[in-house]
Chains A and B, each alone.
Chain A
Amino acid sequence: MKAKLFLALVTALLLRNAPAADIPYQDHEFGCVTREEADRYVADFRIDVNSFGGQELCNAAVDTKKLLNDIRILEQGAFNSAGQNVFIRGFVPADGYYQWLKQETRGIRRRNDIPYATAYNSGGYFTMQDGWAKLSTLGRVGTFVHEARHTAGYRHIYCTQGPYQDSSVSGCDSNYNYGGSHAVEMEYYARVSIQGANFHPVYKKMARLMAIARSNAFFNTPVVRPHEAVLALTVDGREAHLFDGPERYVREVPAAAGRLKRTSFGGVLFDGLRAFSIELYENSGFPDLVADTYSYFKLLAETAEPVRDFEEFDQDTKRYVVKISQQNRLAAYNFPAGTWGREQALAFSLDRTSTALPGRPGQGLYLISTTGEIYNYAPQTQKITRENGLWPAEVQEVIAHDNGNLVLLKSGQIMVMSAEGLTPWSETNELYSGLISTPVYDGFEVKRE
């Protein structure tokens, strides 16, 4: 490895003085907007030029030039196909952004009267804030498209899922089909990414990442993203059944004892110290033990100290990892420091953790005592509070599923818990010893064998 490193360094030094080719646009007119273009844009969009810093055709440090540039990209950006897909629905015609924006814009001005916003639309009049000026070009263009959609009456609603579901601000759209501001903005990013014909490579790459980053965040019905499937471990522990929508797959299971646990990347068998990966997407034909190297369970292997329980889970936009030691002490992983945080002693004896409670939709981290008491752990404050009620003695596992719960009874049956009570889950009548919900990623093909 040293030799390779040295070689890399030597190569870097040799290349250090290699001349780079001239960039072919080194003239002072490069990037300037013509006066005719500028006049047309100002008239079409009723731009308050003075509020943007006065007329400027060339210097991108002046906000006027930024806005003119953005409009030019929207007018002249070309797409090499008009095909439709999950993202590209034709909310705005590919060759009609300029006309559409002109129609939806009564005026544009620059202020900083609502500093926490990037921009706002009041009756078709857009006010760009300081945050707008600091964005990338793609971010500014996306903001413009987004705000324009509001003119037609599309408004946001509270987020009922995703990272902003607890936010007090209405920031989501119900779904993509609604064609609201988020969808129209996403459609633009998707078009640039997969159909863009004359965009800068960096602009295109950012568009792809922006589309993916937003695909789950702002729609109460997610667009693409890992969807949740159900994984159940058979009573004999020899195989697992993956229930993914209407499909059911048989998955091989490592020949090891342990509790079936959910990870950020699927499922593992966890024995308190080691976690062995369950391959969701295909069977290898070999029952070899494969240590989990994707999720945070691998942290335990480094300290080689067995624990009572361990959970990794997401809440809002953050990931949390929590362990409860054999000494009944809880610690959360401190990501910025790259180490475990301070341990706190539990005031009760832990039996197990659970990410869901019977009769309650939604997920969290719950600590179940040996006497059945339920405690809620709030990861942001690290506070532990007692919940009402007791963990039902006949229940082995509970997971969130379809806005309700699936419950694994100690008898091995999987039941649906609803307001009417427990009813057998229609997907299977076999008996199981473990049950988790698991993310299944769209980019991975689940193979039958």
Chain B
Amino acid sequence: MKNIHYIFIILTIASLLFVRYDLARRTEPGPQPAAVKAAAVMPAAPAAPAAVPAPVPKGPSFTEKFKQESAAVAELQSDPEAAQERLRQLARGMTQKDVESLYEIISDDRNDGDQRALAVELLSLKNDTASLIALQNFVASEKTATGKAWDRKKELETVLRAQAVESIAAYPQKEIALSTLSFLQRRVNESFLNDRIGRATAHLMGRAPSPEQQDDEALRKLIE
């Protein structure tokens, strides 16, 4: 299982490198066509007044949208479902570069907690290979709630990683989700996160409801 996981990572990285190389090759200026070369050596005709293209209104960048949405986490929502739809749309429009920037946001504990939680959520909704790897690396990183002393900062680190574990479990290809969880089980020594990984694994193997369902059931349990 471990080997499969490494092969999967290597294949993913190789594919990404190839796509990047291919895109760069296609977009970089290549040899100029003969007509262009000829034009360069001919006397230039008087230039006709060029039509000035109307400026295309530029929408907000991903970074701007992300900042606005992270501010919205701290706001009450008249329509929470609309907020969820905004998140889905924002995730759909994310590029590889955006995924990389979100990984940087979640990995730096100096960043605002809402921004980090939103970044994990967007990577989850994006649900592609690059997002999965970003989430995996985040969970595997060592800043977890360890030690005897408790503090809320450590607790936030744990909750964010638990959120990421659920996101990994939601990856559309079950085998890859399982191998990622199995890999993380060996990298994470915090018992709460280990428990979450175990529950997510049990769910993917058809042995238990999803951790979200289990939580909801536990939180809804009625007093007898």
* Residue positions of A touching B, CB distance < 8 A: 1-2, 4-6, 8-9, 11-13, 15-26, 30-31, 60, 66, 69-70, 72-73, 76-78, 83-87, 116, 118, 131, 134-139, 143, 163-164, 166-169, 171, 190, 193-194, 197-206, 208-215, 217, 224, 226, 264-265, 281, 293-294, 296, 299, 302, 314, 316-320, 333, 335-336, 338, 441-444
* Residue positions of B touching A, CB distance < 8 A: 2, 8, 11-12, 15-16, 19, 23, 59-60, 62, 65, 68-69, 71-78, 80, 82-84, 86-87, 89-90, 92-93, 95-96, 110, 112-114, 116-118, 121, 128-130, 142, 145-153, 155-156, 158-159, 162-163, 173, 175-176, 183, 185-192, 194-195, 198-199, 201-202, 205, 207-209, 211-223
CB contact between B155 and one of A26, A203, A213, A441 (< 8 Å): that residue: A213
Cβ–Cβ contact A84 & B223, under 8 A = yes
Q: How far is the CB of A332 from chain B (nearest CB, A)?
A: 10
The answer to whether residues A118 and B113 also contact, given A11-B128, A12-B130, A20-B92 and a CB cut-off of 8 A, is no
Cβ–Cβ contact A87 & B219, under 8 A = yes
CB contact between B152 and one of A15, A139, A205, A208 (< 8 Å): that residue: A139
Q: List 17 A-B contacts (CB under 8 A).
A: A1-B175, A9-B19, A20-B93, A24-B86, A30-B71, A30-B75, A131-B152, A136-B117, A163-B192, A167-B148, A201-B84, A203-B73, A204-B80, A212-B162, A264-B191, A264-B195, A444-B214
C-alpha gap A137/B128 in the complex (Å): 28
Q: How far is the CB of A317 from chain B (nearest CB, A)?
A: 6
The answer to whether residues A208 and B93 also contact, given A23-B69, A26-B60, A213-B162 and a CB cut-off of 8 A, is no
C-alpha gap A18/B214 in the complex (Å): 36
Q: Which residues of A are found within 8 Å of B176, using beta-carbon distances?
A: 1
Q: Which residues of A are found within 8 Å of B151, using beta-carbon distances?
A: 116, 118, 131
The answer to whether residues A202 and B117 also contact, given A60-B71, A336-B142, A443-B214 and a CB cut-off of 8 A, is yes
The answer to whether residues A31 and B219 also contact, given A164-B148, A167-B149, A265-B198 and a CB cut-off of 8 A, is no
CB contact between A73 and one of B76, B159, B202 (< 8 Å): that residue: B76
Cβ–Cβ contact A9 & B214, under 8 A = no
A86-B219, A443-B215 given; 10 more Cβ-contact pairs under 8 Å: A12-B96, A19-B93, A20-B59, A20-B65, A23-B68, A30-B75, A190-B219, A198-B77, A200-B83, A206-B159
The answer to whether residues A22 and B147 also contact, given A5-B11, A6-B15, A210-B155 and a CB cut-off of 8 A, is no
Q: How far is the CB of A97 from chain B (nearest CB, A)?
A: 13
Tell me whether chain A's interface is mostly helix, strand or loop, or mixed. loop
Q: How far is the CB of A358 from chain B (nearest CB, A)?
A: 26
Cβ–Cβ contact A85 & B220, under 8 A = yes
Cβ–Cβ contact B74 & A135, under 8 A = no
Q: Which residues of B are found within 8 Å of A264, using beta-carbon distances?
A: 191, 194-195, 198
Cβ–Cβ contact B117 & A335, under 8 A = no
Cβ–Cβ contact A317 & B191, under 8 A = yes
CB contact between A72 and one of B76, B96, B183, B212 (< 8 Å): that residue: B76
Cβ–Cβ contact B218 & A212, under 8 A = yes
CB contact between A319 and one of B96, B191, B211, B220 (< 8 Å): that residue: B191
Q: Which residues of A are found within 8 Å of B90, using beta-carbon distances?
A: 20, 23
Tell me whether chain B's interface is mostly helix, strand or loop, or mixed. helix
CB contact between A16 and one of B84, B87, B95, B219 (< 8 Å): that residue: B95
A-B interface, 5 closest residue pairs, ranked by CB to CB distance from nearest = A136-B113, A443-B214, A20-B93, A335-B189, A137-B74
C-alpha gap A281/B199 in the complex (Å): 14
The answer to whether residues A76 and B153 also contact, given A9-B19, A213-B159, A224-B218 and a CB cut-off of 8 A, is no
C-alpha gap A135/B74 in the complex (Å): 12
C-alpha gap A433/B159 in the complex (Å): 41
Cβ–Cβ contact A198 & B219, under 8 A = no
CB contact between A199 and one of B76, B92, B214 (< 8 Å): that residue: B76
Cβ–Cβ contact A12 & B219, under 8 A = no
Q: How far is the CB of B141 from chain A (nearest CB, A)?
A: 9
Q: How far is the CB of B139 from chain A (nearest CB, A)?
A: 12
Cβ–Cβ contact B76 & A318, under 8 A = no
The answer to whether residues A198 and B150 also contact, given A87-B219, A134-B113 and a CB cut-off of 8 A, is no
Q: Which residues of A are found within 8 Å of B183, using beta-carbon distances?
A: 338
CB contact between B76 and one of A12, A76, A206 (< 8 Å): that residue: A76
Cβ–Cβ contact A21 & B89, under 8 A = yes
* Most central of A20, A21, A135, A302 by chain B CB within 10 Å: A20
C-alpha gap A441/B213 in the complex (Å): 13
CB contact between B114 and one of A202, A215, A294, A444 (< 8 Å): that residue: A202
* Most central of B76, B121, B191, B219 by chain A CB within 10 Å: B219
A201 nearest CB neighbor, chain B only:
B84
C-alpha gap A26/B112 in the complex (Å): 20
A135 nearest CB neighbor, chain B only:
B113
Q: Which residues of A are found within 8 Å of B147, using beta-carbon distances?
A: 316-317
C-alpha gap A409/B94 in the complex (Å): 63
Q: Which residues of B are found within 8 Å of A86, using beta-carbon distances?
A: 218-219, 221-223
Cβ–Cβ contact A15 & B159, under 8 A = no
Q: Which residues of B are found within 8 Å of A299, using beta-carbon distances?
A: 186
Q: Which residues of B are found within 8 Å of A11, using beta-carbon distances?
A: 128
CB contact between B219 and one of A76, A84, A194, A293 (< 8 Å): that residue: A194
Cβ–Cβ contact A5 & B12, under 8 A = yes
C-alpha gap A2/B152 in the complex (Å): 42
Q: Which residues of B are found within 8 Å of A319, using beta-carbon distances?
A: 189-191, 194
